[in-house]
Structure 1
Amino acid sequence: MAIPPPPGPQQPGGPYPQDLARGPHGSPGSAPPYQPWGQGYSPYNRPAPVNGLAIAALVLGFLCFLPGVGLVLGLIALAQIRRRGERGEVFAVGGIVLSLIGLALFLAALSSGSAHHAWEGIKSGAHDDGAVFTVRKGECFNAPGGSLEGEAYNIDKVPCSGAHQAEVFADFTLPQGRFPGEEAVTRAAGDRCYALRATYAMDAWAVPADVDVYYFTPTRGSWRLGDRRVTCLFGNTDKKGTLTGTLRSDSTTLTGDQLAYLRGDAALYEALDAVPDDVYAQDDLPRYRAWALRVSTALDDQSRRLRGHSWPQGLRGPVAGQAEALDRARDEWNGAATAADADSFYDHCARGGALLEGRAAVTAREALGLATTPPAPEKGEGQGSADASGGGRQV
C-alpha cells in the first residue's frame, strides 16, 4: 500500500521523479494515489489574486452610484474570497459600507422629496438643439437675454406680483409620432393657444392692449428627447416691456357672480373673434352676413344668461341695464346679417359694437368689481380687415 506524504511542503530528501514512477517494492508502476497539497508544490509559489468584484464594489461605493448594486457586489465578493482564498476582503467591506451609506442617503432623499426635485432639474436642463424645461400654468418668469423670441434654454421663475416678461396661461401635449416639422408645430401651437387664452383670462377687458400670445414649442432636437409639450404665454409686444401682476381671471380668482357675467361675455367675444380676416365685406358680403348672424346669436344667448342668473340686490339694476343694451345690440347685428350692401353692413356693425361696450357695460362691470376700461380696438377693426387672433409669436 502506498503511503501518502505528510501535509505541507515537500521536504528535501523526498522521492525523486524516478522513485515516484515505481511501485511499493521499487518496481516500475503508476504514481502514488495522491495529489500535491497546497501552494508548496507550485513552481513559483505566487500570491492569491485580488477579487475583481471587491474592487468594483469599492468603486461604486465611492461614487455613490447605484448603491444597491455596490452592496450586492460587495457581498458576492466576500463569499468568493472565502471560498477561493482570494484577496480583497478590505475592498469588499469598504464597498459594502459606502454603498450602505449611499443607500441610506438615497432613501432619505426620497422621503423628503429632494430626489424628485433633482430629477425635475435634470429634465429641465436637458436640451439638444432646443429646450426641455418645466414651467406651469399660473407661473411667471423672465427669459435670459430679455427676449421671448428664438430658442429658450432656461428661464428664471419670478413672482407674478412683480415685473416679469411672461405668464403661463395654458399647456398641452402634441400627439406622439415623428416630428411633423416646425411649421406644423407652430401652427398647432398658435391655434390652440389662442383658443385657450380666454379660459385663463376670462375678463378680456383686463388684458392690456400691449399683451399678446406667445408659446414655447418643441424643436426637432427636443422632440428626439421626448418633448411634446407646448406652453402658452402672455407677454408684452414691446421687447423691452414687462408685465406686472397676474392676468388670471378664472374660477380660482373670481366670485360666482363675476363668473356668471363673464361666461356670457366669453361666448360673445368668441363670436366676434371669428370675423373673416382675409377679405373685406364688399368683396365677400355673404361671409360677413353669416358672421354677423353668429354675433347676434351670441348676444341673444348672453342676454338670456344675465336674466336667468340670481343676482344680489345691488347688482340687479346694473345687470338689467346691460341686458337691455345687449338686446338693442342684437337688433343691430341682425340688421348687419341682412344688409343689402357693405355700407349698410358697416353702419349696423358700428352701432351694434358701440352698444356692446358702452355705458351700460361699464356700469355693470363696476358693480361687479371687474375691469371697466373697454379693450382698445385693433388696427382695422370694423373695416373687415381686423385680425381677431392677434399676433402670436413662436418661441
Structure 2
Amino acid sequence: MSIPPPPGTHDPQQPQGPYQAPPPAPYGQYGSYPPYGPPPYQTWGQGYTPFNRPAPVNGVAIASLVLGILCFLPAVGLVLGVIALVQIKKRGERGKGMAIGGSVMSSIGLVLWVLLLATGGASDIWEGFKDGARDSASLSVSAGECFDTPGGSLEGYTYDVDEVPCEGEHDGEVFAVFDMSGGSDYPGDSHVTDVADDKCYSLQDSYAMDTWAVPENVDVYYFTPTEDSWSIGDREITCAFGNTDEDATLTGSLRNDRTTLDDDQLAFLEASRALDTTLAAEPEEYAEEDLEVNTDWAGEVDDTLGEQAGALRGHTWPSAVEQPVAALVKDMEAARKEWAKAATADDPDTFYEHYDSGYEFIDGATTVTAREALGLATTPPSYDDYDDGSGDSTGSGGLDV
C-alpha cells in the first residue's frame, strides 16, 4: 500500500511517484466520517445553475399589469410599466410582456379618466355610486306594505326586513316613508328620533283615517338612519304600525284612506279628524294654573265644532245615513254651547263644569250610530294613552338601519 508523502514543503514541479487515495473505510469504523474527513460534496461555481432554473419574473411588471387591468390609478400603472421595462433589461428578468401590457392598458385608462373629468362623467359615476349605496342602506318596503323583521322585534338595529302579505301575520305595516333634511354631519340619535317621532305620529291619521279601527295594542314605530348609513347619504325614515307586545304580531291591513274609503266615509272621518286634532291640543297646564290658556283652547274647540257640524250638514248623505248624521250634528251643536261657556268662564270651577258637559257629547251614542250606518268602526278608542304628537305615548319606539 502506498502512503502519502510526509508533510513539509515540496516542489509541485518535481515529479512525484504515483499517488492513490486509500479506500474509504465503512462509516462508523472511525466515527461519523471516514478517517480522512467527510465524504466529498460537489460544488458549483458562481453563476452556474445546476438545474437550469428560469430567471425570476419582475414584480413591478406584475403590479403594472394588475393596475392596468383594473384601470385603477392608471398614471401609477403607466409609470410602473416603464420602470419594469428598465429593470427587466438591466437584470435579465422575465415579464416584459406584462410590463408592456400594463403600460398600454394604463395609458388607455388614463385617457378615459381625463375624458370623464372633462365631461363631468366622473361626477355622474360618483353620484350613481352614492345612490346605490343609499338604496342599499334603506329598507326595501314602502307605504302599504307589511313586513317581518329578522328577530321579530321592532326595537334595536336591523339591516333589512322581509316583505310579507298583509293578509297574514306580520310584525309591522308601513304607513309612511319620508326623507330627513340635513348636511353631511350626522345630527345625532336624539335629533333623528325626535324628527321621526313628530312626523310619524302626524302622518298616521292620513293612512289610518278611522282611528277607531286601530286596535288598542297597536302603536307607531319607525326605522331611522344610523351614523354609518347617514355618511353614505341615507336620510330615509320609515313609519310603521306594530304590536306593543313583542311576542305578538298584526293580522290584516290597518289601511283606511282615500284608496279604500268611499266619499261619504271620507267626509265623516275628515270632520272627526279635525275635531280630534283640536281636542288633542289641550293645554298641559290645569285651569287652576293657567285659566286663560284653557279658555282660549275651549274657544278653539267651539269654533271647530261649528265648522265641522256645518260640513256634515252640507254633505249629501245616502238615505240610510242621513238621519243618524243629523242626530250627531244636533249633539255637536249642543256640545258647542257648553264649550262656548267654558271659553268665557271666570274661574276654574266654572270652566270644568262646562268642560265636562261638553265632553259628554264627544264620541257619544249618536257618533256610534252614525259610524255604524257608514260601515265604520263602532268601538270608541281609549284615550288613556292618547298621544298628542309629542311622542310620549307608551309602546312607541324605533329601529336603526
Alignment TM-score, normalising by the size of structure 2? 0.64
1:22-101 correspondence to structure 2 within 5 Å? none
1:234-245 correspondence to structure 2 within 5 Å? 234-245=241-252
Deviation for aligned residue 1:172? 1.1
Contact 1:275-1:388 within 8 A present in 2 as well: no
Question: What residue identity is the alignment partner of 2:397?
Answer: R
Larger Rg: 2
Task: Please give the alpha-carbon distance, in whole angstroms, between the structure 2 residues aligned to 1:179 and 1:120.
Answer: 18
Task: Please give the alpha-carbon distance, in whole angstroms, between the structure 1 residues aligned to 2:358 and 2:159.
Answer: 47
Q: Hey, what does 2:20 align to over in structure 1? A: none
Q: Hey, what does 2:43 align to over in structure 1? A: none
Question: What residue identity is the alignment partner of 1:271?
Answer: T
Q: 1:299 aligns with which of 295, 305, 319?
A: 305
Are 1:198 and 2:205 matched, yes or no? Answer: yes
Contact 2:208-2:256 within 8 A present in 1 as well: yes
Deviation for aligned residue 1:147? 1.5
Q: Go from structure 1 to structure 2 and tell me whether the alpha carbon gap of 1:371 and 1:222 turns closer, same or farther (over 3 Å shift).
A: same
Size of the alignment, in residue pairs? 289
Q: Hey, what does 2:276 align to over in structure 1? A: 269
**Between the two proteins, what is the percent identity of the paired residues?**
48
Q: Hey, what does 2:326 align to over in structure 1? A: 320
Q: 1:216 aligns with which of 209, 220, 223?
A: 223
Contact 2:208-2:254 within 8 A present in 1 as well: yes
Deviation for aligned residue 1:173? 0.8
Deviation for aligned residue 1:266? 1.2
Q: Hey, what does 2:118 align to over in structure 1? A: none
More deviation, 227-236/349-358: 349-358
Task: Please give the alpha-carbon distance, in whole angstroms, between the structure 2 residues aligned to 1:184 and 1:242.
Answer: 29
Contact 2:205-2:211 within 8 A present in 1 as well: yes
Q: Hey, what does 2:352 align to over in structure 1? A: 346
Deviation for aligned residue 1:276? 2.1
RMSD of aligned alpha carbons: 3.5
Task: Please give the alpha-carbon distance, in whole angstroms, between the structure 2 residues aligned to 1:232 and 1:331.
Answer: 39
Structure 2 residue matching 1:169: 3-state secondary structure: strand
Deviation for aligned residue 1:349? 2.4
Q: Hey, what does 1:394 align to over in structure 2? A: 398
Task: Please give the alpha-carbon distance, in whole angstroms, between the structure 1 residues aligned to 2:172 and 2:151.
Answer: 13
Unaligned runs of 5+ in 1: 1-50, 61-85, 92-118, 127-131
Task: Please give the alpha-carbon distance, in whole angstroms, between the structure 1 residues aligned to 2:389 and 2:231.
Answer: 38
Task: Please give the alpha-carbon distance, in whole angstroms, between the structure 2 residues aligned to 1:326 and 1:165.
Answer: 39
Question: What residue identity is the alignment partner of 1:299?
Answer: L
More deviation, 301-310/132-141: 132-141
Contact 2:218-2:241 within 8 A present in 1 as well: yes
Q: Go from structure 1 to structure 2 and tell me whether the alpha carbon gap of 1:303 and 1:284 turns closer, same or farther (over 3 Å shift).
A: same
Contact 2:299-2:340 within 8 A present in 1 as well: yes
Q: 1:186 aligns with which of 185, 193, 203?
A: 193
Q: Hey, what does 1:337 align to over in structure 2? A: 343
Q: Hey, what does 2:150 align to over in structure 1? A: 144
Deviation for aligned residue 1:219? 1.4
Q: 1:355 aligns with which of 339, 357, 361?
A: 361
Structure 1 residue matching 2:157: 3-state secondary structure: coil
Task: Please give the alpha-carbon distance, in whole angstroms, between the structure 1 residues aligned to 2:347 and 2:240.
Answer: 40
Question: What residue identity is the alignment partner of 2:338?
Answer: E
Contact 1:123-1:133 within 8 A present in 2 as well: no
Structure 2 residue matching 1:356: 3-state secondary structure: coil
Alignment TM-score, normalising by the size of structure 1? 0.65
Deviations 1:311-345 (A, max 9, x none): 12221111111111111111122222222333333
Deviation for aligned residue 1:146? 2.1
Q: Hey, what does 2:139 align to over in structure 1? A: 133
Q: Go from structure 1 to structure 2 and tell me whether the alpha carbon gap of 1:121 and 1:179 turns closer, same or farther (over 3 Å shift).
A: closer
Task: Please give the alpha-carbon distance, in whole angstroms, between the structure 1 residues aligned to 2:386 and 2:278.
Answer: 18
1:144-183 correspondence to structure 2 within 5 Å? 144-177=150-183, 178-183=185-190
